[in-house]
Structure 1
Amino acid sequence: MNSSTTPIALAASVSDDAGLPIAAVERETGLGKDTLRVWERRYGFPTPLRDASGDRVYSLDQVQQLRLISRLLGIGLRPGKVVGLDQATLQDLLTQRSPVQNTVLSKTKSPSSGADLVIGDLLHAIGAHDPHTLRYSLSHAQLRMGLAPFVTDLVAPLTTAVGEAWAQGRFEIFEEHLYTEVITGVLRHAIASLALQPVSQGPKVLLTTVPQEQHSLGLLMVEALLALEGCTCVSLGTQTPLSDIVEAAQAHQVDVVALSFSNLHKAAVVRASLRELRAQLLASTALWVGGACTALYQWPVAGISTVQHLSGLQPLVAQWRHAN
């Protein structure tokens, strides 16, 4: 959701006899260059052409397939089950795996709850290219609901619904970018509007992602909930090298490092990264991880706390304060 290439720019960069270079495919899909090369050898997909310099170039059809594959990996499917499937099959799998979001997105079904009605209206504003209505509706919902329910009950499912709409071809990248920019502004304003605590309650939390993790909206939702709990947050944005995370944690004297993982990485890579980071951080620095990556919860790593749902942040903060 944080790709910097819009469909217009993307189309302008591809001629009839060429395609996207691997760096652009990485930005468009969130799939790392090494992952694409491994899949090419292991599964025979993708099947890039070569440009005059011998570098890989990928057709737009293959990029769309890779986008769908990326979404399916994000909801728990294994690469071996989906890599190389055609677009129609991938979209069918996505529909089967996401019945709630597809009910919300359906134009022929009536939403089943008040929250679905609000989400349906917001999706309509995105599709109608109406940032004013989108911003007003989100800001009004935040004031009416309060920040914590707004994040957990509206922003989280809406973000999932927007992602599904993009994967199924209902939204273009520029429409997804519109949503990301608007909701980022709304959340930043809400965080800035919180009354500052006279004395920081702790913990002081460093927020970021490891390399190849480009999604920042999840971090912002976590930051909003932590700020509401009176925590001090230091956000580094996305894709911070492990060594820099360690240096930043020491420089800012944080109590906690919090990382978000999607399901794009192999489980072994995630576990190795976490073990390395845990070994390099001070023993007194807690390490919290969360996100859609199933490996986080299937194979716990000693000294690391997992937060599978946003609702788990408040108990974790309370536990830290009790221990300190």
Structure 2
Amino acid sequence: MAYDDDMNKVGSSRRPEGHPIQVAAKRTGLTPEVLRVWEKRYGAVRPARTATGRRAYSDEDIERLRLLRQATLAGRRVGEVAGLSTGALGELVREDEREERQAPPARGGAAGSALEAPPAAGAAGPSAALPEALDAVRDLDPLRLEAILTRAVMLHGSDQFVERMAGPLLRAIGDEWKEGRLEPYREHAATEVIRQVVGRMLSWGAPGPGGATLVAGTPAGQRHEIGSMLAASAARSEGWLVIYLGPDLPASDIARAALRAGADLVALSIVHPADDPAVNVELRDLRTLLPKSVRIVAGGAAAGAYARVLREIDAEVLSDLAGFRAFLARIRASRPLPI
């Protein structure tokens, strides 16, 4: 402890040796779990340790991790570049950036229209990248997975991505998890990446003419939100004004949002658990709180388990996004045209 001239204790001006893992995660854009895996599996960096055994990352470590993240976002496997020196890694990243700047612009001009543009005739659909995406999931390589998914959106548009990439990928991840071939932490990491990519898509586009409004979310006790996000993205691409509420909301909050927004439709995703009596109560409460003019639609892996109460409240139960799109088209077609 330092003292001033009058022997009063003052704080030390000495900078701590290295940065804790939380700071390294924030500065690099990587999660602490990824930092640990990259260190253990690939030797990406070798941070020093404090007296209590905690990692202490140097500024050089953080710069190297930033470069590794940029390289993986460009489509490279971390295992292929982790052995490069920091100087060589920096040159590789700069080369990737030059190539990206020199690449011809995406067809469609503005960013929004390019993202929605259909693929060129004969181009492979987004499902062609499914094996590569699953490899990234199994390798616990979230940055490569993010790059694969983002590339699929850019090449094929949000509609194709949702129906032929995100949906099938989620089902494949779920199947491998149920069969014990994929550890829960890998499933959670992959789901978070998909959630982030789909979340960005919710800000694209603008409502079309007709003014139809949809409120989307999951009932209380239902914490798996990606199905609801995919439905919200599909509705937005169909020209609906979408208000996405997120997961695990009580019926009173969902109803309040729908009434405040003047919603035509409330879309619910029900995934897990499939045997929660409280969900039945929430669904009945929601119907009671909403006027009959506001329709309710439900989907998700566990929606069928609540079929009886969904029929009771006159909700539409849909099994896939294609059916959901068709349902949206019918709802909009039945609305009176604005004056």
TM-score (norm 1): 0.59
Determine which of 263, 269, 273 is the counterpart of 1:260: 269
1:308 aligns with 2:319: yes
Moved over 6 A (4+): 113-116
Determine which of 128, 138, 147 is the counterpart of 1:127: 138
Higher relative contact order (CA 8 A, sep 6+): 1
Aligned to 1:175: 186
Q: Deviations over 1:7-28 (max 9, x none)?
A: xxxxxxxxxxxxxxxxxxxxxx
Q: 1:117 to 1:149 in 2, by over 3 A?
A: closer
Is the CA contact 1:290–1:296 (under 8 Å) kept in the aligned structure 2? no
Q: Deviations over 1:215-263 (max 9, x none)?
A: 0111111111011001111111111111222222222222211111125
Q: 1:296 to 1:193 in 2, by over 3 A?
A: same
Matches of residues 99-110 of structure 1 in structure 2 within 5 Å? none
Q: 1:283 to 1:193 in 2, by over 3 A?
A: closer
Is the CA contact 1:165–1:171 (under 8 Å) kept in the aligned structure 2? yes
Is the CA contact 2:221–2:279 (under 8 Å) kept in the aligned structure 1? no
The 3-state SS of whatever aligns with 1:192 is coil
CA distance in 1, matches of 2:210, 2:305: 32
CA distance in 1, matches of 2:226, 2:195: 7
Aligned to 2:149: 138
Q: 1:246 to 1:144 in 2, by over 3 A?
A: same
Calculate the aligned-residue CA RMSD, in Å.
Answer: 3.0
Q: 1:188 to 1:276 in 2, by over 3 A?
A: closer
1:153 aligns with 2:164: yes
Aligned to 1:13: none
Bigger Rg over Cα? 2
Is the CA contact 1:208–1:238 (under 8 Å) kept in the aligned structure 2? yes
Is the CA contact 1:271–1:301 (under 8 Å) kept in the aligned structure 2? no
Shift of 1:287: 1.1
The 3-state SS of whatever aligns with 1:250 is helix
Is the CA contact 2:274–2:306 (under 8 Å) kept in the aligned structure 1? no
Determine which of 186, 205, 208 is the counterpart of 2:214: 205
Is the CA contact 2:126–2:152 (under 8 Å) kept in the aligned structure 1? no
Shift of 1:286: 1.3
Q: 1:160 to 1:241 in 2, by over 3 A?
A: same
Shift of 1:279: 1.8
1:235 aligns with 2:244: yes
Q: Which runs of 5+ in 1 are unaligned?
A: 1-5, 7-112
Shift of 1:121: 1.5
CA distance in 2, matches of 1:288, 1:114: 29
Letter in 2 for 1:120: P
Identity between Structure 1 and Structure 2 (%)? 28
CA distance in 2, matches of 1:305, 1:137: 34
CA distance in 2, matches of 1:254, 1:123: 37
Is the CA contact 2:216–2:228 (under 8 Å) kept in the aligned structure 1? yes
Shift of 1:114: 8.0
Shift of 1:164: 2.4
